[in-house]
Amino acid sequence: MSPAKINALLETLKLSCIRQFRFNPRRIEADMRYKGTEGLGNNLVHVFKDVHSHSLIELKGSMATLREQYGESPHWNEDEIKRYCHSDAEIDAEIAAKQAELEFTRTSALYQDHREVLLSHYKDSPHYQEGRPSARDAAKALLSSLSDAQDPRLSLFSSHMKTTDLDQLSHLLLAPCHIERAAYATKSA
């Protein structure tokens, strides 16, 4: 499907979701991606998927339907619906908080001391070696060993991020790597 047709469908989705669910159009535009069509003939629907939660919205004509169950997985809980109804100010505050987290991570001693090692686990890195664990697995292993050693850098990072969950901490620690890789790819292109 052409990008123009997808953009037209996204506009229809935004208008439908505003009318039916009072969703913020900024959130729809930022977080929904076109997945494709399902069904045939009169039962044809266009499906959009949330990039974070993977929740689905079906669009048939100008009517949107939240797909509350997909296989075994429940979708569209109350918190997610509230998140889509946030005001522009709430969305701006959420973005600012994420940018502050990213900046803290980028300047933290934990990230600075292990930046090169973390970046070397990405396939597009000049220091990448085949057969090494993924960046996510390497970050979790690193954080696990630092946790066992009661490293003060990890303690500071963990307390600032208000979590001790190693999966969440590894995700936060790798965020600057993704931005550096994207910037490098843009310069190389």
pTM for the full predicted model: 0.75
Distances (CA, A) of 72 to 17, 51, 55, 58, 69: 25, 19, 13, 18, 7
List of the chain residues with pLDDT < 50: none
* CA–CA gap between residue 20 and residue 12 (Å, rounded): 12
Domain regions of the chain by residue span: 3-86, 89-188
Task: Give me the pLDDT at residue 123, please.
Answer: 84
Task: Please give the structure tokens belonging to residue 55.
Answer: 């929740």
Task: Give me the pLDDT at residue 51, please.
Answer: 92
